[in-house]
Chain A
Amino acid sequence: EVQLLESGGGLVQPGGSLRLSCAASGFTFSSYAMSWVRQAPGKGLEWVSAISSSGHSTYYADSVKGRFTISRDNSKNTLYLQMNSLRADDTAVYYCAKFRSSQISCYYCGMDVWGQGTTVTVSS
């Protein structure tokens, strides 16, 4: 079964750090681009970051650029999101998602597999 399982969420103080992980199974992880998408309470979906299948190319939303770092370990079938300098507006459910392709920008590049999400709360 194709599956993504996020972990690492929790309560953190403003200015703090967290590292999210996403364990993949049931597909050839190294063949697909991956992404993080978040959803603040009661709000819509916000794309956060993406990484190519090889890990050589990374992309970020302006709202997290310079604070968040996406990475992957293809030998461990795991995607990561290192989040530093966290702010209250980073509070959200964070989903990892698999692209249909090794690329991030293409006409067939929908995100076809999603994890269940992990909750990050930034509060003092």
Chain B
Amino acid sequence: DIQMTQSPSSLSASVGDRVTITCRASQSISNYLNWYQQKPGKAPKLLIYAASSLQSGVPSRFSGSGSGTDFTLTISSLQPEDFATYYCQQTFSTPLTFGPGTKVDIK
């Protein structure tokens, strides 16, 4: 099974900050990597698929990069509505696996 790790597990940031979250796969997954945002009590929302493709309707301040085993999600200028937990997920092989999440809260 492919294990996904994320760092940091949590971070505190201010509105307007540039935020970067890292995701690492235990083996190469090419670009079979997705990023989701989840707010408390709500369903996850797809932000990025194929490592760097922005899902329709997602603000352009979100971007993804990486290939192989190392990936990043970047929020160029953090907005109040971006405080949430972010998960990466691989769809390279089953079992599909999520990272443990990165909680972004207000400094």
Contact (Cβ within 8 A) B93 A47: no
With A106-B32, A114-B45 known to touch, is A50 a contact of B94 (CB < 8 Å)?
A: yes
Binding site for A on B (CB under 8 A): 1, 30-32, 34, 36, 38, 43-46, 48-51, 53, 55, 85, 87, 89, 91-101
With A107-B32, A109-B32 known to touch, is A45 a contact of B98 (CB < 8 Å)?
A: yes
Binding site for B on A (CB under 8 A): 35, 37, 44-47, 50, 59-62, 95, 97, 100, 104-112, 114-117
Contact (Cβ within 8 A) B34 A111: yes
Contact (Cβ within 8 A) B46 A45: no
Kindly list chain B residues whose C-beta atoms are within 8 Å of the C-beta of A44: 85, 87, 98-101
Contact (Cβ within 8 A) B30 A107: yes
Contact (Cβ within 8 A) B91 A61: no
Kindly list chain B residues whose C-beta atoms are within 8 Å of the C-beta of A105: 32, 91-94, 96
Contact (Cβ within 8 A) A47 B96: yes
Kindly list chain A residues whose C-beta atoms are within 8 Å of the C-beta of B55: 110, 112
Contact (Cβ within 8 A) B46 A47: no
